[in-house]
Amino acid sequence: DGGITQSPKYLFRKEGQNVTLSCEQNLNHDAMYWYRQDPGQGLRLIYYSQIVNDFQKGDIAEGYSVSREKKESFPLTVTSAQKNPTAFYLCASTPKVHGDRGTEAFFGQGTRLTVV
C-alpha cells in the first residue's frame, strides 16, 4: 500500500541530546514536509523539500535540521538547540502539482517526542 511512514511513534529524549525522526514515503511524491503540532495550535511548518538535495526553512526551523538525499526519505533531526522540543511531529508529502487544483498533503501518523 502506498503511504507515508513515520517512526518511531513515541520517542523520549534526554535534554542535550539530538534525536532523528524518520519519514519515508512510497507515493513517488516530489515534495516532503515536516510540521510541528502543539496542543491548541495549528500545524506549523518546520522544513520542506521540493526536490532531492534541496530543502527550505519553514516558519519555525530554528533548532531543527533535515536532509533529502533520497526522494523517498526526509529525516528530521531535533537538536539540543531546540528549546522546547516536546511536541507531536507530522511528516507530509505532496505530488508536484501545478495549476489551481492545488495540492493535497498526505500525512504520516506522527511521532510524539517527549523530552525527559
Partner 1 sequence: KNQVEQSPQSLIILEGKNCTLQCNYTVSPFSNLRWYKQDTGRGPVSLTIMTFSENTKSNGRYTATLDADTKQSSLHITASQLSDSASYICVVSRFYSGGGADGLTFGKGTHLIIQP
Count of CB atoms within 10 A of residue 55's CB?
20
ω into 8 cis (within 30 of 0): yes
Per CB under 8 A, 75 contacts partner 1: no
Binding mask 15-54 for partner 1 (x = CB under 8 A): ----------------x-x------xxxx-x--x-x----
Stretch that binds partner 1, among 14-22, 62-70, 78-86, 102-110 (CB under 8 A): 102-110
Per CB under 8 A, 104 contacts partner 1: yes
Secondary-structure breakdown of the chain: helix, strand, coil percentages, each rounded to the nearest 5: 0, 50, 50
Non-local (6+) Cβ contacts of 19 within 8 A are 11, 13, 77, 78, 113
Coil, strand, or helix at residue 5? strand
Tell me the sheet residues that pair with 51. 54
Nearer to partner 1, 2 or 40 (CB): 40
Nearer to partner 1, 31 or 115 (CB): 31
Per CB under 8 A, 14 contacts partner 1: no
Return residues touching partner 1 (CB under 8 A). 4, 6, 31, 33, 40-43, 45, 48, 50, 56, 58, 88, 90, 92, 94-105, 107-110, 112
